[in-house]
Amino acid sequence: MNKIKASATTIYILFLMLPIYWLVSMSFKDTSEILGGFTLWPQKVTFQHYITIFTDPTWYVGYINSITYVGLNTLISVTVALPAAYAFSRYRFLGDKQMFFWLLTNRMAPAAVFALPSFQLYSALGLFDTHWAVALAHCLFNIPLAVWILEGFMSGVPKELDETAFLDGYSFPRFFIKIFIPTVAAGIGVAAFFCFMYSWVELLLAKTLTSVNAKPIAAIMTRTSSSAGFDLGLLAAAGSLTIIPGAIVIYFVRNYIAKGFALGRV
Amino acid sequence: MSIKTENNKAWFLIIPVIILMGLNAFVPLMTVINYSFQETFGDNVFFWEGLKWYDQILHSDRFHSAFLRQVMFTSIILSIEIPLGIAVALALPRKGALVSLCLVLVALPLLIPWNVVGAMWNIFALPDLGLLGKMINGMGIDYNFTRDPLAAWFTTVLMDVWHWTSLVVLLSYAGLRSIPDAYYQAAKIDGATNWAIFRYIQLPKMKSVLIIAILLRFMDSFMIYTEPFVLTGGGPGNSTTFLSIDLVKIALGQFDLGPAAAMSLIYFMFILFVCWIFYTIMMKDEGK
């Protein structure tokens, strides 16, 4: 039985790794090798594609843009979600259920529906083609998600904690920052992870809201593949590099992954 | 769960969320609703059209076929990803040094930007240069996802399974981890079969996370845009043009604001309706 389980796990992970392997190996092949024929691994390892990316500003600025708006978005989403999640987990108030459901409906809104009006909105606000536009627009799906995750974690914290703190004379803001936030740190980590993830992988809104100055790396890749001929090696190298930030983030939260994915609801 | 206190001042804690969501969700949604009833020829001049666009969309073959393709795609990937995800979660090691490594590797596809996923699978499945394409053609099957609709579907579904099964795996795994060892020991003493353990211990414990998994997978697959757009561009022909791809074509490609807006709302309402059913089930469960 255990052997079957181990081999099933291995096969599944191999299946996950194969396309990634192919992308990475492609990025080390030179163009003539890619077009010349089929090779399982690079016959002559070349770094030319990576050198192009790190020396050409139109390429590496894309990474800086992406990381900037993703970071901003994660910060905004988690910060505003914290008090709201607390309200939902602790209090009953007029329209709380409706409000919570309305928030979740935004997580269900296809980005394609919001692309055009968001473009018009941020153009009108004069924020078009800035990191702020993308960071704010991604709040559309990240705030509901962060509220949802944090609410789950906060409901797991006994109410006696709040009551004791208030009896000890803590004011609400002081209690919230000094006691409550450290208590739900794991939940904040998980929420931040999800916000990072969804903002990092989303492209439709990010692409629609930027043209030059804040263009995400993922959009630069699409442009290159269509206009400057199909340079597979360069595309593969750029793609491989986009995997790295995600891998780093996963490494940091690896101990919370199993628990966190249950959104505090197990 | 402790009983909640009645306190309407809690609204103050939600104000920041309301402001941001108002800007990002409410304003664009109202714009879409506004467009869906009007006709424009540019220059910000609008004419009232009533329900014309809704009527047009609901009777258009193009919308029907995109909708059908979307429902088919979502059903296929749900029926593959949910069972497969549960199976892999059951097979993953529960203890030991390998746990972290396995989880990190399993989570990796989730953090790759969606268009990179599309580009990666494009390179992977190219019939002449890609590993997958070469393998399938090597088995004597004629495979070219850019020309054959069936191959395009196969590749798109496989890509989605590759991309998203991990989410189901991680959620189910989290559910499984919450089962105390004592349950398994008791089952062993009673001589329960593996199937009985799964059916009466593991599945009930996974129920709440599985509902979340199904909900997330339904919404996200129903909104899928970037990956198939990069992989197949909606083709060959229209064979993999799902709802979002079609919508973007109408809205940003042809700038047909009215029909695009009406289609957006019908699309959104459908997702909402299905999710509302799920949500009701979920809340009923939590109330118990």
Question: What is the tens place of the pLDDT at every residue in A202-214?
Answer: 888 888 888 877 8
Domain assignments of chain A as residue spans, ordered by start: 1-46, 55-260
Q: Which of B9, B13, B276 to mutate to test the interface with A (most CBs of A within 10 A)?
A: B13
Q: pLDDT tens for residues A152-204?
A: 888 888 888 888 898 888 888 899 998 899 988 888 888 888 899 889 888 88
Helix A139-155, helix A185-201: angle, nearest 10: 160
Residue B94 CB coordination number (10 Å)? 13
The answer to whether A16 contacts B109, with C-beta atoms less than 8 Å apart, is yes
The one-letter code for the residue type at A243 is I
Chain A CB contacts of B260 under 8 Å are 116
Question: What superfamily would CATH give domain A55-260?
Answer: MetI-like (1.10.3720.10)
Asked if residue B110 lies in contact with residue B126, where contact means CB atoms within 8 angstroms, the answer is no
The H or E element that residue A164 is part of is helix A160-167
Q: What is the pTM of this model?
A: 0.85
My answer on whether omega of the bond before B236 falls inside 30° of 0, hence cis, is yes
Q: What is the mean pLDDT of chain B?
A: 84
Chain B CB contacts of A136 under 8 Å are 20, 23-24
Torsion, Cα B8 B14 B15 B20, to 10 degrees, reads -150
The H or E element that residue B46 is part of is strand B46-48
Determine contact: A127 vs chain B, CB below 8 A: no
Band (pLDDT 50/70/90 cuts) for residue A264 is low
Contacts of B226 (CB under 8 A, 6+ apart): A203, A204, B114, B115, B117, B118
CA-atom Rg of chain B in angstroms: 23
Closest CA to B259 of B62, B70, B74: B62
Determine contact: A19 vs chain B, CB below 8 A: yes
Please state the rounded mean pLDDT for residues B58-85.
Answer: 90
Q: Which of A18, A201, A215 to mutate to test the interface with B (most CBs of B within 10 A)?
A: A201
Residue of A nearest to B32 (CA): A117
What is the structure's pLDDT at B72? 93
Q: Where do the domains of chain B lie, and which CATH numbers do they carry?
A: 8-287 (1.10.3720.10)
Closest CA to B221 of B93, B78, B89, B12: B78
Chain A CB contacts of B132 under 8 Å are 18-19
Band (pLDDT 50/70/90 cuts) for residue A76 is very high
Q: Which of A8, A155, A203 minimises the CB distance to B114?
A: A203
Calpha distance B163→B124 (Å, rounded):
14
| B279 pLDDT above the threshold of 80 | no
The H or E element that residue B38 is part of is strand B38-40
The answer to whether A87 contacts B11, with C-beta atoms less than 8 Å apart, is yes
| Window A:214-253, CB contacts with B under 8 Å | 217-219, 221-222, 225, 232, 235-236, 239, 242-243, 245-247, 249-251
Band (pLDDT 50/70/90 cuts) for residue B26 is confident
Asked if residue B250 lies in contact with residue B259, where contact means CB atoms within 8 angstroms, the answer is yes
The answer to whether A22 contacts B120, with C-beta atoms less than 8 Å apart, is yes
Structure tokens at A83: 């008090």
Band (pLDDT 50/70/90 cuts) for residue A265 is low
Chain A CB contacts of B177 under 8 Å are 258-259, 266
